[in-house]
C-alpha cells in the first residue's frame, strides 16, 4: 500500500475547518528551499472590481501553499453565515462562497500573516483584495498604531477588529472588518464606508474573532471614530491616516439639513494609538488545597496573590466534626511561586475542617474578599525545616567582593524557606559595622519569608555587615554580606517637566535601559502643580522616561475598560534615552502630552 500523501493530510485538516479541497496540489520536489514569502499573482474577480456577480474568487499564488495555514489566515467581510470551501489546483485556490453575495456591497478578502508557503515562509504583510457587487467601491480608510504600553514598542501581527454603525457593538458577533498590524505596529482598514466605527486591537490566538478575557486588549482613544477618503486631488502630501476626532453620542452629532449625513469634525494632527495590554478585572480564584502535614497546608490560586492584611486577621480554621476553632499560627508565601499561600496551624487531625479566608488581591488590585472550603486533615508529621536561601536584592546596583551597593531607597533583604519570627532573627541574624560593633535594626516583611532589614542608620558610603548564623541548618560557616548605599559622588539626579498634562495627576516613571526587574530598579514620582518632576540619588546608567495621566487616581497606568467604555490612560515617553552622569543634575527634554 502506498503511504498517504502529506497533501492528503492537509486536505483532511482543511475539511475540518470547513475548507474542503476538490483537487490536491502537489509541490515540486528538489532544489533549494526559497525564503521569499508567497505572493498573490492574480485574482478573479480582480482587486477593486465592481458589479461583481460571482459565486467564488480564484487566487493564483507564486508558490505552493501550506494548506493547514490557509483557514487560519483567510477572512472575508462582511462575513458569511456558513463556512467557505476551497478548491485547489496547483498554486490556485478557489474560495467558494456559501451563499449569494449581497447587492451594493463592498467585500474585503484578507489573507493574514498566518499564511505560509510549502517551505514554511510566512507573509510579512497581509494580502487584501476588495470587490463590489455595486457600481462603486467603498473608498474610506482608517489606520492607527498598536503599541505595547511599557516601552512604547510597536506590536506586530496584532489583530484589529472594527464594528460599524454603533458606539455599543455586539461583541458576540463577528466584527464587520478585520486588519492586522505590520512589523512597525501600523494597521490600515481599506475600503470602509464613511460611517462611524468602533475599533479594538487584540491578539486573537484561537482565531475565533472574539474578544476573549484571556487575550490582551487595546481600546480606542475615543469611543467612536470615522474613516476618511484620502485626498488625491491635490499635489500636497496626503494626510496621515488614523487622525480622527472623537465622535459625541449619535444623538448629538450635527447633520446636513439636505442629505441627513452626519457631519464629522476635522481630523486632529497625530495618529491614534492602541495600547495592547492584558485587561485584568477578575479577582483571583481559589483552585485547590494540598495538605503538606498535620500542621501545614498549601492553597493554590489562579494567579499570583498578595496579602492585604498583614495580620491575617480574617482567616478562620474550624474542626467541623468537633465544631471547635483551630489556631492559625501564620501564613506565608515564597517569591518563587506567589500563586501559592501556605498556612501553618495547630494540629489538624484526620477530621473534616473548614477554612475561611479573605483580604487577598492580585497584582492589579482585584480583591478576593472571602472564600470558604472544606478539607480533610492528616496525621502526617511536619518535617519542613528552616533554610536560609540568600541575600537580596538581587541583583543590587553593583556587587564587588561581596559588598552590595544599594540605590537610595533600597534595603538589605534576607530570604528564608519558612517565616522567621522576632526571636529567631534575634538569635541568628546580627547587623554590625565592619569592626563588629552591633547596629540596632528593625525589620518588616510582605510575604512572611522575605525579610527587609532596616538598620537604624544606613548612610551613603558607610558599610553595614549582616551575618546569618547557619547552625539552624547544620552549617558551620555563617552567611555574610556587606551592604553600602551609593556615595554622594556615585549619584546623580534627573529633572524635567511635563507639558499639556491637564487637570489629572501625572506619574513619571524611570526605567533602566535595558530594562531590569521591575521591583529592583524602578523609580517613580509625581509632578508638582507646574508639571515639574525630579529623581534624586540615582546610580549611573541609562534611563528612559514614561509619564501617564492617572485619570482614576489609583497610582498606576490602566489600559481602559470595554464595558463600560473607558479609554486607556494617556502615555508619553522620552524620545531618547538619558545617560545619567553622576554628581550632576541631568536635565531631561520636556515631554508633551499631545491631544489625540
Is the predicted pLDDT of residue 32 greater than 70, yes or no? Answer: no
Does residue 400 or residue 506 have the better pLDDT?
506
What confidence score (pLDDT) does residue 198 get? 93
Beta bridge partners of 400: 403
- CA-based nearest residue to 211, from 176, 168, 175: 175
CATH number of 6-22+40-132: 2.60.40.1220
Confidence of residue 504 (pLDDT cuts 50, 70, 90): confident
Is the predicted pLDDT of residue 238 greater than 50, yes or no? Answer: no
How far apart are the C-alpha atoms of 145 and 158, rounded to whole Å?
Answer: 10
Confidence of residue 508 (pLDDT cuts 50, 70, 90): very high
Is the predicted pLDDT of residue 454 greater than 70, yes or no? Answer: yes
Fold of the domain spanning 490-592:
Immunoglobulin-like (2.60.40)
Is the predicted pLDDT of residue 592 greater than 50, yes or no? Answer: yes
For 107-118, how does the pLDDT look when each residue is reduced to its tens digit (9 = 90+)? Answer: 999 898 889 998
For residue 325, the number of C-alpha atoms closer than 13 Å in the C-beta half-sphere is 6
Which cell numbers in the block locate residue 25? 496540489
Q: What are phi and psi of 18, to 5 degrees?
A: 80, 20
Does residue 276 or residue 596 have the better pLDDT?
276
**CATH of region 138-279, choose from 3.40.50.2300, 2.60.40.10, 3.40.50.300, 3.40.50.150:** 2.60.40.10
Query: What residue spans of 25-177 are helical by DSSP H?
Result: 70-73
For 131-189, how does the pLDDT look when each residue is reduced to its tens digit (9 = 90+)? Answer: 999 999 999 999 999 999 988 899 998 999 999 876 678 888 888 888 889 889 999 99
How far apart are the C-alpha atoms of 164 and 176, rounded to whole Å?
Answer: 6
Confidence of residue 513 (pLDDT cuts 50, 70, 90): confident
Does residue 19 or residue 302 have the better pLDDT?
302
- Asked if 184 and 153 count as a contact pair (C-beta separation under 8 A), the reply is no
Which cell numbers in the block locate residue 540? 549611573
Beta strand 429-432 with 506-512 is unpaired
Residues 572-595 have a mean pLDDT of 90
Which cell numbers in the block locate residue 158? 496584532
How far apart are the C-alpha atoms of 415 and 417, rounded to whole Å?
Answer: 7
* % of the chain surpassing 70 pLDDT: 85
Could you give the 3-state DSSP secondary structure of residue 70? helix
Q: Which strands form 273-275's sheet, in the order they lie side by side?
A: 186-192, 140-147, 273-275
Which cell numbers in the block locate residue 112? 493574514
What confidence score (pLDDT) does residue 79 get? 83
Confidence of residue 233 (pLDDT cuts 50, 70, 90): low
What confidence score (pLDDT) does residue 281 get? 66
How far apart are the C-alpha atoms of 523 and 538, rounded to whole Å?
Answer: 9
For 279-311, how does the pLDDT look when each residue is reduced to its tens digit (9 = 90+)? Answer: 666 788 899 999 999 999 999 998 899 887 655
Confidence of residue 244 (pLDDT cuts 50, 70, 90): very low
- State the DSSP code for 288: E
Cα-trace Rg, the chain: 31
Residues 321-346 have a mean pLDDT of 92
- Please state the pTM of the whole predicted model: 0.70
| Architecture, CATH, for domain 388-486 | Sandwich (2.60)
Residues 423-436 have a mean pLDDT of 94
Could you give the 3-state DSSP secondary structure of residue 387? coil
For 355-396, how does the pLDDT look when each residue is reduced to its tens digit (9 = 90+)? Answer: 998 888 887 778 887 888 899 988 889 889 999 999 998 777
Boundaries of every domain in the chain: 6-22+40-132, 138-279, 286-376, 388-486, 490-592
What confidence score (pLDDT) does residue 402 get? 86
Fold of the domain spanning 286-376:
Immunoglobulin-like (2.60.40)
Amino acid at each position: 500500500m502506498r503511504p498517504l500523501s502529506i497533501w492528503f493530510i492537509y486536505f483532511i485538516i482543511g475539511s475540518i475547518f470547513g475548507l474542503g479541497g476538490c483537487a490536491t496540489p502537489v509541490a515540486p520536489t528538489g532544489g533549494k528551499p526559497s525564503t521569499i514569502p508567497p505572493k498573490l499573482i492574480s485574482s478573479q474577480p480582480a482587486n477593486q472590481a465592481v458589479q461583481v456577480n460571482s459565486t467564488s474568487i480564484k487566487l493564483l499564488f507564486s508558490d505552493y501553499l501550506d494548506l493547514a495555514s490557509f483557514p487560519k489566515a483567510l477572512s472575508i467581510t462582511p462575513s458569511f453565515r456558513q463556512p467557505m470551501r476551497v478548491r485547489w489546483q496547483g498554486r490556485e485556490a478557489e474560495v467558494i462562497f456559501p451563499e449569494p453575495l449581497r447587492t451594493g456591497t463592498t467585500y474585503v478578502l484578507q489573507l493574514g500573516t498566518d499564511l505560509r508557503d510549502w517551505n514554511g515562509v510566512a507573509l510579512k504583510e497581509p494580502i487584501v483584495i476588495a470587490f463590489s457587487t455595486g457600481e462603486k467601491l467603498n473608498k474610506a480608510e482608517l489606520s492607527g498604531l498598536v503599541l505595547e504600553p511599557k516601552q512604547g514598542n510597536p506590536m506586530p501581527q496584532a489583530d484589529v477588529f472594527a464594528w460599524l454603525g454603533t458606539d455599543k457593538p455586539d461583541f458576540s458577533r463577528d466584527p464587520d472588518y478585520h486588519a492586522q498590524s505590520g512589523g512597525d505596529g501600523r494597521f490600515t482598514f481599506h475600503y470602509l464606508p464613511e460611517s462611524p466605527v468602533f475599533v479594538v486591537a487584540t491578539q486573537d490566538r484561537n482565531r475565533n474573532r472574539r474578544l476573549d478575557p484571556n487575550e490582551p486588549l487595546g481600546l480606542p482613544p475615543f469611543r467612536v471614530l470615522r474613516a476618511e477618503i484620502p485626498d488625491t486631488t491635490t499635489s500636497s502630501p496626503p494626510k496621515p491616516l488614523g487622525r480622527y476626532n472623537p465622535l459625541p453620542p449619535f444623538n448629538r452629532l450635527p447633520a446636513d439639513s439636505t442629505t441627513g449625513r452626519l457631519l464629522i469634525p476635522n481630523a486632529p494632527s497625530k495618529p491614534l494609538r492602541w495600547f495592547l495590554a492584558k485587561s485584568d478585572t477578575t479577582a483571583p480564584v481559589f483552585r485547590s488545597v494540598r495538605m503538606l502535614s498535620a500542621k501545614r497546608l498549601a492553597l493554590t490560586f489562579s494567579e499570583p496573590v498578595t496579602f492585604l492584611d498583614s495580620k491575617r486577621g480574617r482567616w478562620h480554621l474550624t474542626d467541623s466534626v468537633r465544631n471547635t476553632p483551630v489556631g492559625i499560627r501564620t501564613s506565608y508565601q515564597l517569591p518563587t511561586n506567589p500563586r501559592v499561600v501556605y498556612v501553618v496551624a495547630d494540629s489538624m487531625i484526620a477530621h473534616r475542617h473548614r477554612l475561611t479566608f479573605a483580604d487577598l488581591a492580585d497584582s492589579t488590585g482585584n480583591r478576593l474578599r472571602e472564600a470558604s472550603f472544606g478539607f480533610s486533615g492528616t496525621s502526617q508529621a511536619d518535617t519542613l525545616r528552616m533554610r536560609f536561601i540568600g541575600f537580596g536584592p538581587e541583583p543590587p546596583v553593583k556587587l564587588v567582593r561581596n559588598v552590595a551597593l544599594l540605590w537610595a531607597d533600597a534595603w538589605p533583604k534576607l530570604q528564608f524557606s519558612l517565616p522567621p519570627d522576632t526571636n529567631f532573627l534575634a538569635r541568628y541574624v546580627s547587623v554590625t559595622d565592619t569592626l563588629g560593633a552591633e547596629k540596632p535594626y528593625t525589620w518588616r516583611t510582605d510575604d512572611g519569608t522575605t525579610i527587609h532589614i532596616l538598620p537604624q542608620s544606613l548612610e551613603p558610603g558607610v558599610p553595614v555587615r549582616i551575618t546569618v548564623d547557619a547552625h539552624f541548618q547544620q552549617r558551620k560557616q555563617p552567611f555574610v554580606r556587606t551592604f553600602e548605599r551609593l556615595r554622594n559622588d556615585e549619584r546623580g539626579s534627573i529633572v524635567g517637566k511635563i507639558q499639556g498634562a491637564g487637570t489629572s495627576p501625572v506619574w513619571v516613571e524611570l526605567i533602566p535601559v535595558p530594562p531590569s526587574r521591575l521591583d529592583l530598579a524602578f523609580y517613580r514620582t509625581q509632578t508638582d502643580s507646574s508639571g515639574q518632576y525630579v529623581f534624586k540619588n540615582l546610580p549611573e546608567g541609562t534611563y528612559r522616561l514614561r509619564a501617564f495621566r492617572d485619570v482614576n487616581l489609583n497610582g498606576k497606568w490602566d489600559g481602559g475598560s470595554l464595558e463600560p467604555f473607558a479609554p486607556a490612560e494617556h502615555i508619553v515617553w522620552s524620545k531618547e534615552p538619558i545617560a545619567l552622569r553622576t554628581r550632576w543634575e541631568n536635565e531631561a527634554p520636556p515631554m508633551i502630552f499631545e491631544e489625540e
